[in-house]
Amino acid sequence: MTAVEEFAPAKLNLFLAVTGRRPDGFHDLVSVAAPLSVGDTLRAEPAAEFALACDDPAVPADGTNLVLKAAAAFVAATGWKGAARFVLEKRIPMGAGLGGGSSDAVAALRALNRLAGPEFALGAAELAAVAAQLGSDCPLFLAEGPVAMRGRGERLAPLPAAAAARLRGRRVLVFKPAFGIATPWAYGRLVAGAPGSYLPEADAEAKLAAWLGDAAAPAEALLFNNMEPPAFAKFVALPVLLENLRRDFGLQPRMSGSGSACFAFLGDDRAAAPVVAAVRDAWGPSAYTAEARLA
């Protein structure tokens, strides 16, 4: 095999309830996440040593990049003696809460699993275990549809088929300002916040169960994110625009993950251009926008 290519989809957190801080410093959560039809592309070809090139100069290409960390984890898990040169076409913005780095890492694991051949290839459970070592939200990119996430994000369960059908294929507009939000900062604000920053696990599970149990509830009824208040308190451009979109377009926009990317579901008969124009009028021409479908 001379070269392989893997798609690294972006993701949205449609439902995100951070329920508390764990003794190990991580946070527990209850979430529903879904991959998108837009994302990065990662190519890998055999090489004498591991290396990474990216078309976005802002993306680090050294050992701090999760692609190369994934390669090291794959070698440690399998004993494979080979190496690869990765070329990353970056389309998922950084600091967005769209999971770009984690998705790239999982794409690297998939690529190496193919390059290494059957002697060294990891099974599904082994691949998930290696992915979990790289980051809490990495395992979700091994799923092929919407999943419920628990623990620190490593405990995954596919949604019931009927519930997943309410999400799959939904058209969505994703938009992000020029600035990003660092995930450690966002979680730090929850830690420093007043009582009530977290949503108790029982309440989070009850909210999710209510949506799962109501076959008539649309995807919009699922949307929730208790990481919005700390982000909105500092980055006021986010809530101002979201309120304008609610008022002017009747949309139900939310922030994804720890931000700064936001999203809104669009009906198949709604033109996206006026919404995109409103986003760029508020956040400037450098704002990122992308139409996508939930996978």
Whether residues 239 and 93 fall in one domain: no
Q: Does a cis peptide bond (omega within 30 degrees of 0) precede residue 260? A: yes
131: pLDDT strictly greater than 80: yes
Whether residues 9 and 146 fall in one domain: yes
Q: Count CA atoms within 13 Å of residue 204 on its CB side.
A: 24
What's the CATH number where 257 sits? 3.30.70.890
Per-residue pLDDT reduced to its tens digit, 163-178: 999 999 999 999 999 9
287: pLDDT strictly greater than 70: yes
Last residue of a domain, one of 100, 126, 158: 158
Whether residues 137 and 190 fall in one domain: no
What is the arrangement of strands in the sheet containing 288-293, beginning at the earlier edge strand? Answer: 254-255, 262-265, 171-176, 288-293
CA–CA gap between residue 66 and residue 112 (Å, rounded): 14
Whether residues 154 and 12 fall in one domain: yes
Q: What is the DSSP letter of 177?
A: -
- How would residue 95 be classed by pLDDT, with cut points 50, 70 and 90? confident
Whether residues 201 and 68 fall in one domain: no
Whether residues 241 and 289 fall in one domain: yes
Of residues 135, 112, 139, 141, the one with CA closest to residue 40 = 141
Whether residues 180 and 263 fall in one domain: yes
- pLDDT, position 196: 66
Q: Where are the alpha helices (DSSP H) in 154-272?
A: 161-165, 183-192, 201-213, 228-234, 237-249
Backbone angles phi, psi at 245, to 5 degrees: -70, -35
Per-residue pLDDT reduced to its tens digit, 14-73: 999 999 999 988 899 999 999 999 999 999 999 999 999 999 999 999 999 999 999 999
Please give the residue range of the domain that contains residue 227.
Answer: 165-293
Dihedral in degrees, nearest 10, Cα atoms 243, 245, 247, 252: -80
Per-residue pLDDT reduced to its tens digit, 216-225: 999 999 999 9
Of residues 220, 286, 165, the one with CA closest to residue 12 = 220
Whether residues 170 and 143 fall in one domain: no
- How would residue 2 be classed by pLDDT, with cut points 50, 70 and 90? confident
Report yes or no: 9 and 38 within 8 Å, Cβ to Cβ: yes
Task: Give the total number of structural domains in the chain.
Answer: 2
Please give the model's pTM, rounded to 2 decimal places.
Answer: 0.93
- The tokens describing 28, both together, are 């527990």
Whether residues 93 and 217 fall in one domain: no
Which residues in 55-204 belong to E strands, given as ranges? 84-89, 147-150, 155-158, 171-176
| Identified catalytic residue from 69, 137, 203, 248 | 137
Mean of per-residue pLDDT scores for the chain: 95
- Between 153 and 89, name the one with better pLDDT: 89
What's the CATH number where 56 sits? 3.30.230.10
Last residue of a domain, one of 119, 137, 158: 158
- pLDDT, position 1: 67
Whether residues 186 and 267 fall in one domain: yes
- pLDDT, position 98: 95
Report yes or no: 54 and 61 within 8 Å, Cβ to Cβ: yes
- pLDDT, position 263: 98
Residue 90 is a catalytic residue:
no
Last residue of a domain, one of 158, 193, 211: 158
Whether residues 285 and 192 fall in one domain: yes
Whether residues 91 and 194 fall in one domain: no
